[in-house]
Structure 1
Amino acid sequence: MNTPLRPAFDWNRLRAFLVTAEEGSLSAAARILKLTQPTLGRQVAALEQELGVALFERVGRSLSLTRSGLELLEHARAMGEAAGRVSLAASGRVEAVAGEVTVTASDVISAWLLPPVLERLREAAPGLSLEIVATNSLRDIRRREADIAIRHVEPQDGELIARRMPDMQARLYASRDLVARRGGPPRDAAALSAWPFVGFERSDRFRLALNAQGLSLTPDSFPLVSDNGVVAWHYVRAGLGVGAMIDDVARLAPEVECVLPELPAIPVPVFVVTHRELHTSRRIRIVFDHITAMLGGD
């Protein structure tokens, strides 16, 4: 007896779900997909019927994802990004994409972590013109001060699309020269507390976070402070003090070593943020996909 063939998966239904989930309402998703709201609603309902689960529940005038919807969302995003890349590659349109895209990120990420993705973007879409705004202050995506932002805090604006990446890990580092001058690596947190530190901004947050891990630092422990992460890291590499750095960046500097590696790593959250034009602008989608792939470890 022959087993009936399962119908081919309908990508249009999954796309309808994906855009509705990201927009939060059928009306907003329908405008982006250029569909009528009833048509879009039927596609979402058909997907729910096909899967046998409820994907949305109505909360006031908006839609909220159910647990099943949340589980499906990440898979739908991955499929959407893959489908977009396949479509562009198959048609040769990546080469044809042109225009300007502004990306803002911290000075450290801009200097040390973005170059590989910029190289890949240049190869994939040579017609793109990229402006990198290296700043540690938040840029307003909604006012188009930037098209894409790499941030360490989650935006609270529901009009933006924010993709959380795996947390980066930061630890305490010092130059090998400083370690040698201090007679070798510190034995424990108390010994390290006597070393000079390089601070980032005149803020107690970093100092108090380290003290919570067993150090006993005072404001006098930071004879050098800079609000520029590149400059602060240069001072650490030059042997002027101990500083915190993302592990991926520290690995690029053979002249430094981790001090007290047994201390818990400092988690650094990462969000890639853009505006709703992500759904309609090929050039923004290409840059967004490359950045998220890089930060996601793909």
Structure 2
Amino acid sequence: MDKRIDWTQARGFLATAEQGSLSAGARALGLTQPTLGRQVAALEAALGVVLFERVGRSLVLTPAGQDMLTHVRKMGAAADALAMAAAGRADSIEGRVSITASDAMSAYWLPAVLVELRKAAPGIIIDVIASNTVRDLQRREADIAIRHVAPKEPELIARKLPDMPAYLYASRDYLYKTGTPHTLADFQQLDFIAFDADPAGIALLNQHGLPVTAAMIRATSANGVAVWEMVRQGLGVSVMVETIALHTPEVVRIMPQIAPVMVPTWLTVHREVHTNRRIRLVYDLLAEALERA
């Protein structure tokens, strides 16, 4: 029997094993569940072994599947490395470049930078991955990342950029109704919009000199765009990096006596794709824009 491995089938097996179900694996690969199911079944038939057992709604690896997973992960790493090396040696300044940044940076700051990029390199197509989750550049989930945490992977190149100051802001309409706060007591009578209401999050705000109390929090969202829109619409006050606030003229800074929260920023790219002309062009333009942000 021919035991050669089809990489498409092996990749389907890997996604299913890592995601825990055919439906989740299909979403990760951008396939339909029946297509992925056929790939896994074809691999089992080619190998003559059962790779998964169904437990409830989940798939659990058999002993043969566990052994297979170790080898397929190595195949996946090799495939990623090959794709990375090929991307790093591409000479064209036309093509797609993916950038991942926080949802708020993607919505309020990045578009103006992309206007500059369009003028400099109209042949480049930008894919913006607006996410507050750190994307894996080694697995090519993005080409370039604007991060607020330093990368630890040795394969990544990170450029430390100036910290971004974050201040307290409110809309002009909200302040017209409540009055502009001048003291901490005034501030604590306002409605605060938080990224979460967890006590640890409140404690972190307090450590940065922001006198937020649990009683002040009237709305929360883990989505930065949602938080900022609630501020813009006059629902309350919140903290935001100045780079974003400057693009929202109807929102003004309050409590200037409170020191800013300094948000660290790194521009990160994989070592291999750093030699790609179009990715390098986008990387350098982003670095320049962040330097002056």
TM interval, shorter chain, is 0.5 to 0.7
Q: Aligned pair in 2 of structure 1 residues 202, 145: CA closer, same or farther (>3 Å)?
A: farther
Equivalent residue in structure 2 for 1:152, among 144, 148, 159: 148
| TM-score with structure 2 setting the length | 0.65
Separation in 1, partners of 2:286, 2:201: 28
2:93 corresponds in structure 1 to 97
1:163 corresponds in structure 2 to 159
Shift of 1:133: 0.4
* Residues 147-188 of structure 1: CA deviation (Å, up to 9, x unaligned): 000011111111100101111111001112221211x21121
Q: Aligned pair in 2 of structure 1 residues 123, 247: CA closer, same or farther (>3 Å)?
A: same
What is the count of residue pairs matched by the alignment?
204
Separation in 2, partners of 1:281, 1:215: 43
* Residues 43-80 of structure 1: CA deviation (Å, up to 9, x unaligned): xxxxxxxxxxxxxxxxxxxxxxxxxxxxxxxxxxxxxx
Q: Does 1:109 align with 2:105?
A: yes
Equivalent residue in structure 2 for 1:212, among 207, 210, 216: 207
Amino acid at match of 2:147: R
Root mean square deviation of aligned Cα:
2.1
Separation in 1, partners of 2:204, 2:121: 42
Q: Does 1:197 align with 2:177?
A: no
Shift of 1:212: 3.2
Q: Aligned pair in 2 of structure 1 residues 205, 257: CA closer, same or farther (>3 Å)?
A: farther
Which stretch of structure 1 is more off in the superposition, 102-111 or 271-280?
271-280
Deviation beyond 6 Å, 4+ runs, structure 1: none
Separation in 2, partners of 1:215, 1:249: 19
Shift of 1:201: 3.1
1:119 corresponds in structure 2 to 115
CA contact (8 A) 1:192 1:215 kept: no
Separation in 1, partners of 2:140, 2:199: 32
CA contact (8 A) 2:103 2:225 kept: yes
2:242 corresponds in structure 1 to 247
1:287 corresponds in structure 2 to 282
CA contact (8 A) 2:197 2:217 kept: no
3-state DSSP class of the match of 1:201?
Answer: coil
Q: Does 1:225 align with 2:229?
A: no
Q: Aligned pair in 2 of structure 1 residues 123, 202: CA closer, same or farther (>3 Å)?
A: same
Where in structure 1 are there 5+ consecutive unaligned residues? 1-93
Identity %: 44
Amino acid at match of 1:145: E
1:143 corresponds in structure 2 to 139
CA contact (8 A) 1:213 1:263 kept: no
1:8 corresponds in structure 2 to none
| TM-score with structure 1 setting the length | 0.64
Q: Aligned pair in 2 of structure 1 residues 216, 164: CA closer, same or farther (>3 Å)?
A: closer
3-state DSSP class of the match of 1:220?
Answer: helix
